């Protein structure tokens, strides 16, 4: 039974990782490097759990039960902490030479997110059984993957601007790479924690819509992937070249030879209009050569 549970817990992350990895059509990332980021994402899980317990204790000691407590616990205590762990794992490849296309950011961010999700899923599934495995395979694991897609897309765009020397643009995109997954993750967990049927439905519907959007983003960036280089963010338009004009070559007329007619009277070769020997004019039927 434990083998079945382990398989059920790891399968969603494996399928999603395979899908995103094979969407990298320009230049596949090294499996070893992707695996390293995946494992770093998994390591971030226990660290996040420790920080979450500490923050939950602090919030509950300072703030009474209510909406504010839920928002702080699940936006700060869960979403910020967990997405920060994934972001840290992703940042280890920021300057790696293999991170040389925008889509590479998606591959590595999804690896970090699914590494985190895989370990978390194993713990939840072994505690709750196959029913939990099925529900998390539909919502939670794809949700982590979708957060990774958005994080990786903006991380790649940020690195592109950084290499182009656009520090302000790079900083903005790095922040978006972190904050957008935090907002989605925090809203989903907060809505579920309200235990309101309506809010739970809203959370699930939002999660599905966000996952669909993320998969569409994967396809979009995959088809329009660009390299990370100093020129890729603002490559100048090549100057049009003027068509080459044909060089005029004047027609060269043949130069008359020194003697181009023979006098029919005396047989003397001549070049002028009169024979130099007998003085007779050049015959008219021989003038065509001039």
pLDDT for 196-234, tens place per residue?
Answer: 999 999 999 999 999 999 999 999 999 999 998 766 555
Q: Which of 281, 13, 275 is nearest to 124 (CA)?
A: 13
Report domain extents, the chain: 2-223, 259-285
Would the pTM count as exceeding 0.85? Answer: no
Q: What is the pLDDT of residue 238?
A: 35
- pLDDT score, position 201: 95
Secondary structure (H, E, C), the chain: CHHHHHHHHHHHHHHHHHHHHHCCCCCCCCHHHHHHHHHHHHHHHHHHHHHHHHHHHHHHHHCCCCHHHHHHHHHHHHHHHHHHHHHHHHHCCCCCCCCCEHHHHHHHHHHHHHHHHHHHHHHHHHHHCHHHHHHHHHCHHHHHHHHHHHHHHHHHHHHHHHHCCCHHHHHHHHHHHHHHHHHHHHHHHHHHHCCCHHHHHHHHHHHHHHHHHHHHHHHHHHHCCCECCCCCCCCCCCCCCCCCCCCCCCCCCCCCCCCCEECCCCCCEECCCECCCCCCECCHHHHHHC
The whole-number average pLDDT for the span 28-48 is: 97
Position 241 scores a pLDDT of: 41
pLDDT at 275: 74
Given this model, what pLDDT does residue 24 score?
A: 94
Q: How does pLDDT run across 60-84, given as a tens digit for each residue? A: 999 999 999 999 999 999 999 999 9
Residue carrying the six token digits 């065509």:
288
Predicted pLDDT of residue 259? 52
Q: Are 205 and 138 in contact (CB under 8 A)?
A: no
Report the mean per-residue pLDDT for the chain: 87
- The first and second tokens of residue 277, run together, are 């020997």
């Amino acid at each position: 039974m434990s083998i079945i549970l382990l398989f059920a817990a790891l399968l969603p992350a494996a399928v999603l990782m395979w899908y995103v990895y094979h969407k990298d059509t320009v230049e596949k990332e090294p499996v070893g490097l992707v695996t390293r980021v995946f494992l770093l994402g998994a390591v971030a899980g226990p660290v996040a759990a420790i920080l979450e317990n500490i923050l939950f204790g602090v919030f509950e000691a300072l703030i009474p039960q209510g909406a504010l407590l839920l928002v702080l616990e699940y936006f700060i205590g869960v979403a910020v902490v967990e997405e920060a762990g994934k972001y840290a794992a992703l940042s280890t490849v920021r300057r790696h030479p293999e991170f040389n296309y925008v889509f590479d950011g998606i591959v590595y961010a999804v690896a970090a997110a699914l590494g985190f999700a895989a370990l978390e899923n194993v713990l939840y599934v072994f505690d709750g059984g196959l029913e939990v495995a099925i529900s998390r395979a539909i919502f939670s694991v794809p949700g982590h993957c979708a957060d990774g897609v958005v994080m990786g897309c903006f991380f790649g765009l940020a690195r592109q601007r950084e290499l182009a020397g656009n520090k302000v643009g790079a900083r903005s995109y790095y922040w978006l790479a972190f904050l957008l997954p935090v907002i989605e993750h925090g809203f989903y967990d907060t809505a579920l924690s309200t235990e309101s049927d309506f809010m739970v439905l809203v959370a699930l519907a939002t999660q599905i819509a966000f996952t669909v959007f993320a998969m569409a983003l994967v396809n979009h960036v995959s088809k329009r992937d660009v390299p990370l280089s100093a020129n890729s963010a603002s490559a100048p338009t090549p100057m049009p070249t003027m068509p080459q004009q044909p060089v005029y070559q004047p027609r060269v007329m043949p130069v008359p030879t020194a003697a181009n007619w023979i006098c029919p009277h005396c047989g003397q070769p001549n070049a002028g209009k009169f024979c130099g020997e007998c003085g007779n004019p050049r015959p008219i039927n021989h003038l065509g050569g001039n």
